Structure 1
Amino acid sequence: MPTSSASARTGLPVLVVLVALLSFLFPVTAYTADRGAWAPNVPYTVGDLVTYLGKGYDCRQSHTSLVGWEPPNVPALWLERTSAPDTQAPTAPAQLTSTAKNHESVTLSWSASSDDVGVTGYEVFVNGGATASATTAGATTVTVSGLAANTTYTFTVKARDAAGNRSAASAAHSTTTSPPPPVDTEAPSAPTGPRSTSVGSTSVSLAWNASTDNVGVTGYEVFVNGGATASATTTGATSATVSGLAANTTYAFTVKARDAAGNRSAPSVAVSVTTTNAPPTRSKVLVGYWHNFDNGSTNIRLRDVSAKFDVIQVAFAEPVGGAGSGTMGFTPYNSSVGDFKADIALLRSQGRRVLISIGGANGTIHLDDATARQNFVASMQSLITTYGFDGLDLDLEGSSLSLNGGDTDFRNPTTPRIVNLIQATRQLLDQNGSGFLLTMAPETAYVQGGMAAYGGPWGAYLPVIHALRDRLTYLHVQHYNTGTVTALDGRAYAQGTPDFHVAMAEMLLRGFPVGGNASATFPALRPDQVVIGLPSSPQAAGGGYTTPANVHKALDYLLKGQSFGGAYVLRQPAGYPGFKGLMTWSINWDQFTQFEFSNSHRAYLDTYP
């Protein structure tokens, strides 16, 4: 249809107008089909009868209804009936019978009534009193609950129409509810084989063998030194983690099973466990990515991560249903959900923090609209709640973040996928409280690369960092797979060198002009928010690996102002004592190389009070 026609601009085709006029002048006396209450997105045919707000309407031309096309709004489609008020009651329902029952409910069914306009519902009466309604003409069944056991009830049903006319009552149907079920007084058997599966400084994970019961076990209760402390609420949950314990202390644990009637078993035999010593207090952090897949490095269970890591990033939650769906998923690799949750609880009991990281090199995420944003928030909150994660890490790469044309101010972004990411992250932070951590792991092009150019991927993380800096825990830019990058002194530095690490870190510690515009300076982050991201081994990245000795040269300069004689000169000669630490990709590759990264750098960082 040509878009320049008058009918296209007004929204009603010329043909519709002509048909409406002819229908008005020459009403069609066709077979009338009672379609009940009008509804949108329903195909209607000429002659169909509907009701809307207590009035009847005849369909004047076939169409599929839409919201906004309610019968009073479109006289071209619907003709209001102007006949006398409906005073005819429906016929009485027939063949009332009970199709199922138990000790507290009865399910009834009946044959549909007929009406000159249309039946809109039914009312069910118990011993003469109304108790339940079926609200549509097609609902000819209902379950009446809240009845007494082993008691006879008499039911009748009446039909009603839109005008409020009610039929005569159906023939009565009487039935007797079932006797009450026998009282369960038999307790489950005592759980056997209680044992500790992991021990931390403030928690102990326990497991036991399932109990049996004449009806069914509904849960277990764990007792610490004789007092109840935690419950496993499903029949299959034969494990629990008890938290809030004191370090280096011996506890006795017993377990009881319970059934639906509240019967409790005798306690299991006791198992004694001594918690470990409290972890050391550290001023500098070591952050590591544990990856949920095997890429040739090594497969390591989460609970077995080296104790030298303070923050463990679980990589990755990825989109399901396409990059633009916003819905995120995560399935533990080589682990059950229960075991993975127990591993997280164990690490947390040791004073460590476990975050869920989103994205990665293959997990492209596009939050281009409100629906994707809402899906993202809902699915991520479900993962956070299910597993007990301590925070969220944004590791977005590729096209996940890219500035649209005309989006030139990092302080006021307009690109939808950036705006929606900021809003979604803020909502998750608010939902999970002030203790919920936020970290980010962008590539240098997305951050420091924004000094030379701002657009597309260049500087695309800057609006996200800036908008969330009040809740940002750590920013650990990836100092690898990046080539050379221009620093504050205008010189380009190559990855894998002490100069590169110092220069890239100071850009965040001092701030820098965005897109070469001195009036648009990206403000400095706090030193305790800045962490350097490094490969843990040459195999972990395509480029950028730095030997521990060269990393320590860079850190001596950054933290203490102790120069190694490199080309880059700190703008703040005394250095930044508050600089927070190191991040690595990955924990798995670190184990592959016999913990070279974590051992050497943990020992170095621990020299700082």
Structure 2
Amino acid sequence: MDRTTRSRRWIGGALALAVGTGLSITGMTGTAQAADINNAKNGGFENGLTNWTCSGASGVNVSTPVRTGASALKATPGGLDNARCSQTVAVQPNSTYTLSAWTQGGYAYLGATGTGTTDVSTWTPGGGSAWTQLQTTFRTGATTKSVTVYTHGWYGTPAYHVDDVSVFGPDGGGGGEEPVTVPPTPTGFAAGTIGHTSVSLNWAAAARATGYNVYRDGVKVQAVSGTSATVTGLTADTAYTFQVTATNTAGESARTAPPLPVRTAKEPITPDVPKHAVTGYWQNFNNGATVQKLRDVQNAYDIIAVAFADSTNTPGEITFNLSSALGYANVAEFKADIQAKRAAGKSVIISIGGELGNVTINSDASATAFANSAWALMQEYGFNGVDVDLEHGINSTYLTKALRQLSAKAGPKMVLTMAPQTIDMQSTSTEYFKLALNVKDILTVVNTQYYNSGAMLGCDGKVYSQGSVDFLTGLACIMLEGGLDASQVGLGVPASPRGAGGGYVAPSVVNNALDCLTKLTNCGAFKPAKAYPNLRGAMTWSTNWDALAGNAWSNAVGPHVKSLP
């Protein structure tokens, strides 16, 4: 095993932990001297448990998992034994040392006692399969010549693993490990995801490295602590070369050679949404409607909302799982369909929410998680926007932050649509209406779902029954008079009677409502005070139900939308 020399950058002068109660960091910073060594012995457990004492025979030497070398420590708490393993280390008085170890598995604590000043410890709850570094510093007293460093777990928790323990500082004379030397050049350097403005890079850990420098075309562009990096701010369809070096306090390794050539992807096709557009939801599931691949979506649809994204255990974060019921051989085929639709001038967006789905965005952290994960999906799949179809309540303040963060990443051509229920758009005081107004400058269209609601008030204060031209025009009028631009208003209706529990209207009624709002013709009892010729268009749930009904909706409404003034 390489006798690794882990990070020697100070993280604080004193790091104190009341066991099981919390962690506080205070103090100073400093820089290790060239003569500093790792004073711990057998810190990688390559010689079994030599130099270590474990309580109650709780520790054993194992060959897996290990972080480096061939061995590591596994210690298992049991009963009233917290599986404490310790070593007495020779140190110099009035000196500062950095104590470090890598842990995996259950709760793990790392500390030092007998320092002659303030004893220290730090901990991690563990629980994952990745190795986690614990690190703290301590200063020895005026007469201190040895300290006891230790690790332990916690009562009733699983076994923990430890590797690469180090106590860096002045040589205590106890025969510790050798002084720090420059790490070797990293190996396994490769490119991961290649976008049109970014490239992800990864490599294998280098022995003794505490950090890595990334070079683009010979110029250092990043310094990272892990074994991966994403270089952003690149130009689409452009050739670059990349290299990486390993660093520690002794210096920097040679760069990986030869330089890794990477060409960024071409700028994705981002179609402009037509002045008058037809939106259709495409079902990523089989509920009795026609099962479609994305390539089969009818040509009448200008905006295709993929329904739906899935939430994760992280508040605000979304992901997407392609249904196996759709007949795709793999995800790559689905992505190719997205690109083909976009090449044909269509916008393909990812929808969040729906009747059964929900994404909670009610804090700054969840807003950022949403923006980051939505942007990641846009980059991975080629979606050029998002649709907000949250039907279980929203927080307009934080959802506004989330959408603005996403817009900042995606740029001005991001397509942003919404599909609130009728009750959500009855007043500008509702959270959905406030959200629409908050993001009006980046909003494409709000396609209110004019179905499954029962009777509702129109903008004239009269009650209209769903399923009528007056219902569509009287309720759309609320948005038109409430501050949204006509280009941001669309009529959402079912594609067939099976597409919704109530509120289906024949395509001819949809067309009459469009004429009434844009030209003041074919109105019912309600007639708007003025025409809105820039009205965006109509939306339907769903392209699949439309297909099952012989495309009656798109064949009738699609051409009519295109003929609007």
User: Which secondary structure state, in structure 1, belongs to the residue aligned with residue 389 of structure 2?
Assistant: strand
**Alpha carbons of structure 1 residues 67 and 490: separation in structure 2 relative to 1, 3 Å:** same
**Alpha carbons of structure 1 residues 283 and 366: separation in structure 2 relative to 1, 3 Å:** closer
Greater C-alpha radius of gyration? 1
Deviation at 1:480, TM superposition (A): 0.7
**Alpha carbons of structure 1 residues 38 and 419: separation in structure 2 relative to 1, 3 Å:** same
**Alpha carbons of structure 1 residues 466 and 112: separation in structure 2 relative to 1, 3 Å:** same
Distance, in Å, in 1 between the alignment partners of 2:344 and 2:313 is 36
Distance, in Å, in 1 between the alignment partners of 2:273 and 2:365 is 43
Match of 1:290 among 282, 294, 302: 282
**Alpha carbons of structure 1 residues 141 and 463: separation in structure 2 relative to 1, 3 Å:** closer
Distance, in Å, in 1 between the alignment partners of 2:564 and 2:464 is 28
Letter in 2 for 1:363: G
Tell me what 2:64 maps to: none
Distance, in Å, in 2 between the alignment partners of 1:64 and 1:302 is 53
Match of 1:569 among 499, 514, 527: 527
Distance, in Å, in 2 between the alignment partners of 1:432 and 1:472 is 13
Letter in 1 for 2:90: S
Match of 2:544 among 588, 600, 605: 588
**Alpha carbons of structure 1 residues 169 and 580: separation in structure 2 relative to 1, 3 Å:** same
**Alpha carbons of structure 1 residues 348 and 38: separation in structure 2 relative to 1, 3 Å:** same
Distance, in Å, in 2 between the alignment partners of 1:135 and 1:40 is 9
Tell me what 1:441 maps to: 419
Distance, in Å, in 2 between the alignment partners of 1:552 and 1:367 is 36
Distance, in Å, in 1 between the alignment partners of 2:22 and 2:367 is 30
Distance, in Å, in 2 between the alignment partners of 1:373 and 1:331 is 21
4+ runs of 1 displaced by more than 6 Å? Answer: 89-100, 106-112, 116-119, 134-143, 168-173
- In structure 2, runs of 5+ residues without a counterpart are 1-11, 29-35, 48-67, 73-86, 101-134, 138-148, 152-161, 180-186, 188-235, 238-256, 260-270
Distance, in Å, in 1 between the alignment partners of 2:408 and 2:431 is 24
Match of 1:389 among 364, 373, 383: 383
Tell me what 2:24 maps to: 67
User: Which secondary structure state, in structure 2, belongs to the residue aligned with residue 342 of structure 1?
Assistant: helix
Letter in 2 for 1:570: P
**Alpha carbons of structure 1 residues 338 and 41: separation in structure 2 relative to 1, 3 Å:** farther
Quick check: 1:471 aligned with 2:448? no
Letter in 1 for 2:504: Y
Deviation at 1:567, TM superposition (A): 1.1
- Whether contact under 8 Å (1:160, 1:166) holds in the other structure is no
Tell me what 2:292 maps to: 300
Match of 1:114 among 82, 90, 100: 90
Quick check: 1:331 aligned with 2:321? yes
Distance, in Å, in 1 between the alignment partners of 2:71 and 2:284 is 53
Letter in 1 for 2:374: M
**Alpha carbons of structure 1 residues 485 and 543: separation in structure 2 relative to 1, 3 Å:** same
Matches within 5 A, 1:400-411: 400-401=393-394
User: Which secondary structure state, in structure 1, belongs to the residue aligned with residue 301 of structure 2?
Assistant: coil
Tell me what 1:204 maps to: none
Deviation at 1:501, TM superposition (A): 1.3
Quick check: 1:375 aligned with 2:369? yes
- In structure 1, runs of 5+ residues without a counterpart are 1-35, 44-62, 73-88, 101-105, 124-133, 144-157, 174-180, 182-242, 245-259, 263-278, 402-416, 512-521
Identity %: 32
Deviation at 1:560, TM superposition (A): 1.8
Distance, in Å, in 2 between the alignment partners of 1:297 and 1:319 is 24
Quick check: 1:358 aligned with 2:352? yes
Distance, in Å, in 2 between the alignment partners of 1:280 and 1:467 is 22
Distance, in Å, in 2 between the alignment partners of 1:560 and 1:383 is 40
- Whether contact under 8 Å (1:90, 1:167) holds in the other structure is no
TM-score under structure 2 length normalisation: 0.57
User: Which secondary structure state, in structure 2, belongs to the residue aligned with residue 442 of structure 1?
Assistant: coil
User: Which secondary structure state, in structure 1, belongs to the residue aligned with residue 478 of structure 2?
Assistant: helix
Distance, in Å, in 2 between the alignment partners of 1:91 and 1:530 is 67
Distance, in Å, in 2 between the alignment partners of 1:367 and 1:280 is 29
User: Which secondary structure state, in structure 2, belongs to the residue aligned with residue 438 of structure 1?
Assistant: strand
Distance, in Å, in 2 between the alignment partners of 1:305 and 1:352 is 11
Letter in 2 for 1:327: E
User: Which secondary structure state, in structure 1, belongs to the residue aligned with residue 90 of structure 2?
Assistant: coil
Distance, in Å, in 1 between the alignment partners of 2:462 and 2:515 is 22
Quick check: 1:426 aligned with 2:404? yes
Deviation at 1:40, TM superposition (A): 4.1
Task: Work out which structure has the larger RCO, using CA pairs closer than 8 Å and 6 or more positions apart in sequence.
Answer: 2
- Whether contact under 8 Å (1:91, 1:168) holds in the other structure is no
User: Which secondary structure state, in structure 2, belongs to the residue aligned with residue 358 of structure 1?
Assistant: strand
- Whether contact under 8 Å (2:473, 2:513) holds in the other structure is yes
User: Which secondary structure state, in structure 2, belongs to the residue aligned with residue 577 of structure 1?
Assistant: coil
Deviation at 1:295, TM superposition (A): 1.3
- Whether contact under 8 Å (1:487, 1:507) holds in the other structure is yes
Distance, in Å, in 2 between the alignment partners of 1:385 and 1:287 is 22
How many pairs align? 372
Letter in 2 for 1:502: T
Deviation at 1:321, TM superposition (A): 2.3
String of CA shifts for 1:320-343, please: whole Å, max 9, x gaps.
Answer: 228xx2221210112432222111
String of CA shifts for 1:277-327, please: whole Å, max 9, x gaps.
Answer: xx99964211100011111112111111111111100111132228xx222
Distance, in Å, in 2 between the alignment partners of 1:332 and 1:558 is 38
Distance, in Å, in 1 between the alignment partners of 2:449 and 2:21 is 55
Deviation at 1:354, TM superposition (A): 0.3
**Alpha carbons of structure 1 residues 112 and 591: separation in structure 2 relative to 1, 3 Å:** farther
Distance, in Å, in 2 between the alignment partners of 1:115 and 1:280 is 69
TM-score under structure 1 length normalisation: 0.53
Quick check: 1:579 aligned with 2:532? no
Distance, in Å, in 2 between the alignment partners of 1:551 and 1:349 is 29
Deviation at 1:463, TM superposition (A): 1.1
- Whether contact under 8 Å (2:279, 2:540) holds in the other structure is yes
Distance, in Å, in 2 between the alignment partners of 1:91 and 1:538 is 75
**Alpha carbons of structure 1 residues 556 and 109: separation in structure 2 relative to 1, 3 Å:** closer
Quick check: 1:535 aligned with 2:513? no
- Whether contact under 8 Å (2:317, 2:359) holds in the other structure is no
Letter in 2 for 1:599: N
